[in-house]
Chain A
Amino acid sequence: MDRLALLGRAGLDKLAAFGRSSMILFQSLIAKPQPVMMFPLLIQQIYFVGVLSLVIIVVSGLFIGMVLGLQGYTILVDYGSEQAVGQMVALSLVRELAPVVTALLFAGRAGSALTAEIGLMKATEQLSSLEMIGVDPLRRIIAPRFWAGFICLPILAAIFAIVGIYGGAIVSIDWLGIYDGSFWANMQNSVDFGEDVVNGLIKAIVFGFVVTWIAVFQGYDCIPTSEGISQATTKTVVYSSLAVLSLDFILTAVMFGEL
């Protein structure tokens, strides 16, 4: 009986947290934005969230693309259709790996940093002191970070995909000796802009929204101690990863399921 009550309370706690996070989302985004003041802050956050994540995204994209090229070749060569390796690399990157891996890396690199930064601001009463100066921290601190994440993830995913595809091309064409004309032609014939590229981008946008939302909320809602912040940072990475992977399944089912 006690266990049941505990379970019920945990469920209610989660529900309450969800309610609070929705309110934060609403208040920081929907309630009267102040574009003039916000723009420089947004630029700054795009720098921290996006530009600084670029290195890890480019390097990971390159290696994943190269691995896909190698693996794809060894699988396809058995069927005599190694020409299709370009198609395989491109489709798996554009549809799945670019949005998903980018979102996971983003959660680890930028999401955790956002949580820790906001959590520390809370712990050192910087958020309170903003409030007392008459500045809404949701608008001043949360909103620009949120928008930055939302804008950066699709950009990072697109860069990831293109770098990965060129990585695959280097391996397939330069090392494995696949004729470059058929590599690109096969790819171009099978990748559809409207279906594959746009759907991949939609995934990236959804993931950007979710990961940043989780990161920002965990920071804002954390227990303002060093332990609380470290827990919140961990939660950001864990929850974001789970959310990204499960949402990816749902989105894939919706987008490509009827095929």
Chain B
Amino acid sequence: MNLFDDVIIDIQKLSFSRGERPIYSDVDIKIPRGKITAIMGPSGTGKTTLLRLIGGQLRPESGSILIDDQNVPELSRGDLFKIRERMGMLFQSGALFTDMSVFENVAFPLRVHTDLPEDMIRDIVLMKLQAVGLRGANTLMPSELSGGMARRVALARAISLDPDIVMYDEPFTGQDPIAMGVLVNLIRHLNQSLGHTSIIVSHDIQETLGIADYIYLIADASVIAHGTPEELKQVDSPQVRQFMHGLPDGPVPFHFPAGDYSDDLLQGGL
């Protein structure tokens, strides 16, 4: 059976740039429903930007982003907020609400979007916090958490409404090996038992290869490779091999686009 029989997000001919610099030019990406799709690529290529485009926080210059046949860039403000209720997003920085306790942070989406009674909200919140191993921390304030803990709370918040689509922006960074393993299992579990569609942005190649059903590799404003983990391992392109094996030298630029290095140095000196 083909992964792409049932596509939930269909991105076509997407172009977006920051100032003069293109971040995406004419990119096509399809996200299959109920699967885990990973977006990988060097730092600064625009992975976070892609998630923001899907969430409608940025508008592309051209192209369409269809979520179940609704084109995100053309939605009205009201419809955009409607469709976001179906999404959960784990921000790279966590982005917890600093004026609320951990418990209230996770309860927040439930309170604003549902009329559930208080004891039910409590049960759901504690369940989500238990899943990320932080039930005991529910009375703490965000300022009292470590970076890794904050990110796990943010993850619990992102999934508290059981959204159709969950976007994880680097969920594994800053986690110890045990927490990492727990999170990998959690994401896989959420995906399998509840049928969430997951989009993971990550640099942790081993973990990502382990749970992703499909992978897009992004560099130089376009998709340089895509496929299942097995397919990607077979790809012979030097760019892909370099990235998959983490080699410092190769065709993938590690540096932000710049002029000639020695020119720059000389200019300063003279």
Contact = CB atoms under 8 A, between A and B. Distances in A.
Given A132-B55, A133-B108, A125 B85 contact: no
Nearest to B89: A132
A129 interface: yes
A135 B108 CA distance: 10
B112 A125 contact: no
Contacts of A132: 55, 57, 84, 87-89, 91
B237 interface: no
Interface of A: 27, 37, 124-126, 128-129, 131-136
A126 B97 contact: yes
Interface of B: 52, 55, 57, 77, 81-82, 84-85, 87-89, 91, 93, 95-98, 108-109, 112-113, 154, 157
Nearest to A140: B112
Contact of B109 (A124, A125, A126, A133): A133
A124 B113 contact: no
Contacts of A133: 84-85, 108-109, 112-113, 157
B95 A131 contact: no
Given A134-B81, A134-B84, A134-B85, A128 B112 contact: no
13 contacts: A125-B93, A126-B96, A126-B98, A128-B57, A129-B97, A131-B55, A131-B84, A133-B113, A134-B81, A134-B82, A134-B112, A134-B113, A135-B81
Given A125-B91, A136-B81, A131 B57 contact: yes
Contact of B95 (A27, A125, A134, A135): A125
A124 to B, nearest CB: 6
A221 B6 CA distance: 40
Contacts of B97: 126, 129
Contacts of A125: 91, 93, 95
A124 B154 CA distance: 13
Contacts of A27: 77
Given A37-B112, A133-B112, A135-B112, A128 B91 contact: yes
Given A37-B112, A134-B87, 11 more contacts: A124-B93, A126-B95, A126-B98, A131-B57, A131-B84, A132-B57, A133-B108, A133-B112, A134-B84, A134-B112, A136-B77
A134 B84 CA distance: 5
A126 B95 CA distance: 5
Contacts of B108: 133
A124 B97 CA distance: 9
Contacts of B85: 133-134
A188 B266 CA distance: 79
Contacts of A136: 77, 81
A131 B85 CA distance: 9
A133 B89 CA distance: 8
A89 B144 CA distance: 51
A118 B93 CA distance: 17
Contacts of A131: 55, 57, 81, 84
B112 A129 contact: no
Nearest to B154: A129
A27 B77 CA distance: 10
B163 to A, nearest CB: 9
B81 A129 contact: no
Nearest to B92: A125
